[in-house]
Amino acid sequence: MKIHDLEFELFITAAQIHDKVQQLAAQIRQDYQSKTPLFLPILNGSFIFAADLIRAVNIPCRVSFVKHSSYTGTLSTGKLKTLIGLSESLFNQDIIIVEDIMDTGLTLSKVVDELRSLGTRSVEIVTLIRKEKARNHAVQPRYVGFDMDDEFVVGYGLDYEGFGRNLPDIYRKN
């Protein structure tokens, strides 16, 4: 399938994503049954994953979207803007960062550092996808949906040059 100017092939189906989201939600529900977590989905890529996951977790919780983007095109620029969108106190909160995909891990380590400095009680990460090179990173998600090689993917919230976020399945670059 062509997205913008590149060819992509089907990689993870909507049904596989659905099953994985239910599994992740069940783990989180069990781990947080006596807590009231604050979910922090990182925009833009995690908006669809977060919407499905947080509904499936189905426990009392709060949600606040933040933004922290390092991507243009298909290669990480390595540059990060600061976290924007934090409107409430995170002091003593049990935070669950919701990430779409972990590539170098740079984004998440920056976010985790920033959140810890705000007096949070706990900070955990759920990522739908973790790429190969992220597996050796010091900061690791407690919950991982899919592990994959270092390839570029789109769909289910993830874009290529702004396109493809609305695709129900995930595609990888040919």
Please state the closest distance from residue 76 (CB atom) to ligand 5GP, in A: 4
- What is the C-alpha to C-alpha distance for residues 18 and 168, in angstroms, rounded to an integer? 10
What does the binding site for ligand 5GP look like in residue numbers (CB under 6 A)?
45, 70-71, 76, 99-107, 152-154, 158-160
Q: Which is nearer to ligand 5GP, 52 or 100 (CB)?
A: 100
Query: Would you call 103 a catalytic residue per the annotation?
Result: yes
Residue 94 or 100 having the CB closest to ligand 5GP: 100
Least CB distance to ligand 5GP at residue 92 (A): 27
Nearer to ligand 5GP, 123 or 158 (CB): 158
Between 59 and 80, name the residue whose CB sits nearer to ligand 5GP.
80
Min CB(174)–ligand 5GP separation in Å: 14
Among the options 94, 103, 113, 159, which is catalytic? 103
Active site residues: 103
